[in-house]
């Protein structure tokens, strides 16, 4: 070993922590706060960055979301307590163009979008990551529960140790190049309780702060109210129609419904339960039918981000586990590439409520590796 060689530090660099700059994406919550505090305590050159993603005035009055004014304040307090610099960057216009507008348009097209994935893909892991490089950081760390393991072909994406906290569904679009630069220190923790214990150990004010539940720009989960504000006239009324053509009632706007929905349809008095099986935006019809019509085995997927060691199209088919909803475990499937970015996914056992706009994430049949995924479309 050369005399000036240095052992690899915990972030994977062969130099002392004090000479390793890391930008930490700080949401103001306990997870990213613990990441920043732990790295600062280890002696790293930490720079905290918080993104203001939507109107700050509105944010100050809102709780329970990752981007609110209170959260910016909390992130700043953590940085002050741990003695590292903290910056707030105004990404409001970027966020609206890259995330909010598409969310509204997708919903109006009858899809069920997942804006948190687009935010990671288009804002945090693209624009913020470039900002980290501009700050001469060696890497960027986040509080996501996912693992970055080094394999024979380089960094690999793996599910978190704690299956209840795993966020791989929301990070499938992380590219190999981004993965090379990113670090996820919390992915190896066994439980969320460990994170809160670390926060208390550092004396952080956010140690007992509740987890955010809502999409940051959708107060109280009321998607329809947000879309009505963004797209006036989007809540035009129409008919609730059975698949056999019968008009069963009326609705107050297609945006108030999602595929698979059973409750709140306002068409009681029928002998068998009915579910939303289709949203026809052009005719403003909510189509309902028996649950059997929700079952799907063939899922068209596009915009695929592939994280395998060999090209996606190097095989006619891949046997994998796939997730078609964030709340469901991976199911056995055959993924058949149509191009480098498109595929047909055959589910071995049919799934209910597969919806355009959701992600279809690919997993190794055994083990924890994530192979990327794509977006479900109507085909």
State whether 244 and 139 are in the same domain: no
59: domain CATH number is 3.40.50.620
269: domain CATH number is 2.30.30.280
Reference 253, options 278, 285, 220; nearest CA is 285
State whether 179 and 240 are in the same domain: no
Q: Residue 7: inside a domain, yes or no?
A: no
Q: Residue 216: inside a domain, yes or no?
A: yes
Q: Residue 10: inside a domain, yes or no?
A: no
Residues annotated as part of the active site: 119, 216
The lowest-confidence range among 147-151, 161-165, 231-235 is 231-235
Q: Residue 226: inside a domain, yes or no?
A: no
State whether 80 and 195 are in the same domain: yes
Q: Residue 37: inside a domain, yes or no?
A: yes
Please tell me the distance from the alpha carbon of residue 205 to that of residue 82, in angstroms, as a whole number.
11
**Any bridge partners for residue 321, and if so which?**
332, 363
The lowest-confidence range among 171-180, 203-212, 360-369 is 203-212
Q: Which of 173, 189, 220 is the last residue of a domain?
A: 220
346: domain CATH number is 2.40.30.10
Percentage of residues in the chain having pLDDT higher than 90: 60
Residue 89: pLDDT above 80? Answer: yes
Give the chain's domain count: 3
State whether 242 and 207 are in the same domain: no
Its domain, for residue 333, covers: 296-376
The lowest-confidence range among 91-95, 212-216, 251-255 is 212-216
Judged by DSSP in three states, 79 sits in helix
**Integer Rg of the chain from CA:** 22
Judged by DSSP in three states, 64 sits in coil
Q: pLDDT confidence of 355, banded at 50, 70, 90?
A: confident
Q: Residue 285: inside a domain, yes or no?
A: yes
State whether 136 and 262 are in the same domain: no
State whether 210 and 70 are in the same domain: yes
What was the pLDDT predicted at 55? Answer: 61
Residue with tokens 């004010």: 205
Write phi, then psi, for 190 (nearest 5 degrees).
-75, -35
What was the pLDDT predicted at 372? Answer: 97
pLDDT, one tens digit per residue, over 102-139 is 888 888 887 888 888 989 888 899 899 999 999 999 99
State whether 106 and 203 are in the same domain: yes
Judged by DSSP in three states, 343 sits in strand
**H/E/C letters for each residue in 141-202?**
ECCCCEEEEEECCEEEEEECCCCCCCCHHHHCCCCHHHHHHEECCCCCCCCHHHHHHHHHHC
pLDDT, one tens digit per residue, over 277-329 is 888 888 889 999 998 898 999 999 999 999 999 999 999 999 999 999 898 89
Q: Which of 197, 220, 243 is the last residue of a domain?
A: 220
Q: Which of 220, 250, 278 is the last residue of a domain?
A: 220
State whether 285 and 301 are in the same domain: no
What was the pLDDT predicted at 57? Answer: 47
pLDDT, one tens digit per residue, over 15-64 is 999 999 999 999 999 999 999 999 999 999 999 999 988 764 444 444 44
Please tell me the distance from the alpha carbon of residue 212 to that of residue 176, in angstroms, as a whole number.
28
Mean confidence (pLDDT) of the chain: 89
Mean pLDDT of all residues in 95-103: 89
What was the pLDDT predicted at 379? Answer: 63
State whether 50 and 183 are in the same domain: yes
Q: Residue 85: inside a domain, yes or no?
A: yes
What was the pLDDT predicted at 56? Answer: 43
pLDDT, one tens digit per residue, over 190-206 is 888 899 999 999 999 89
State whether 74 and 128 are in the same domain: yes
Q: Residue 225: inside a domain, yes or no?
A: no
State whether 210 and 252 are in the same domain: no
State whether 99 and 215 are in the same domain: yes
Write phi, then psi, for 117 (nearest 5 degrees).
-70, -45
Percentage of residues in the chain having pLDDT higher than 70: 94
Give the DSSP H/E element, type plus range, for residue 298: strand 295-306
Tokens of 91: 């990404």
Asked whether the beta carbons of 333 and 298 are under 8 A apart, the reply is no
């Amino acid at each position: 070993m050369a005399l000036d060689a240095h052992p690899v530090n915990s972030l994977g660099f062969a130099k002392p922590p004090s000479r390793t700059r890391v930008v930490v994406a700080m949401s103001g919550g306990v997870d990213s706060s613990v990441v920043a505090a732990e790295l600062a305590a280890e002696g790293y050159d930490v720079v905290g960055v918080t993104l203001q993603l939507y109107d700050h005035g509105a944010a100050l009055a809102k709780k329970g979301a990752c981007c609110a004014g209170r959260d910016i304040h909390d992130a700043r307090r953590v940085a002050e307590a741990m003695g590292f610099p903290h910056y707030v960057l105004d990404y409001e216009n970027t966020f609206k163009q890259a995330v909010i507008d598409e969310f509204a348009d997708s919903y109006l097209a009858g899809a069920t979008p997942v804006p948190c994935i687009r935010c990671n893909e288009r804002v945090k892991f693209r624009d913020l990551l470039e900002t980290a490089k501009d700050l001469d950081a060696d890497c960027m760390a986040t509080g996501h529960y996912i693992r970055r393991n080094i394999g024979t072909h380089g960094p690999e994406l793996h599910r978190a140790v704690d299956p209840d906290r795993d966020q791989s569904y929301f990070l499938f679009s992380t590219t190999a190049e981004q993965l090379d630069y990113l670090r996820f220190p919390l992915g190896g923790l066994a439980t969320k309780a460990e994170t809160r214990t670390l926060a208390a150990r550092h004396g952080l004010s956010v140690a007992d702060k509740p987890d955010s539940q809502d999409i940051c720009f959708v107060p109280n989960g009321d998607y329809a109210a947000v879309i009505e504000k963004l797209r006036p006239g989007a809540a035009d009324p129409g008919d609730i129609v059975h698949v056999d053509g019968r008009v069963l009632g009326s609705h107050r706007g297609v945006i108030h419904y999602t595929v698979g929905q059973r409750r709140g349809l306002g068409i009681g008095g029928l002998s068998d339960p009915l579910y939303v099986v289709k949203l026809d935006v052009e005719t403003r019809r909510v189509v309902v039918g028996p649950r059997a019509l929700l079952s799907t085995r063939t899922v068209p997927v596009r915009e695929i981000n592939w994280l395998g060691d060999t090209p996606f199209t190097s095989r006619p088919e891949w046997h994998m586990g796939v997730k078609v909803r964030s709340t469901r475990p991976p199911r056995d499937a055959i993924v058949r590439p149509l191009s480098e970015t498109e595929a047909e996914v055959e589910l071995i056992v049919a799934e209910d409520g597969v919806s355009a706009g959701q992600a279809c994430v690919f997993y190794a049949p055994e083990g924890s590796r994530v192979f990327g995924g794509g977006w479900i479309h109507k085909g």
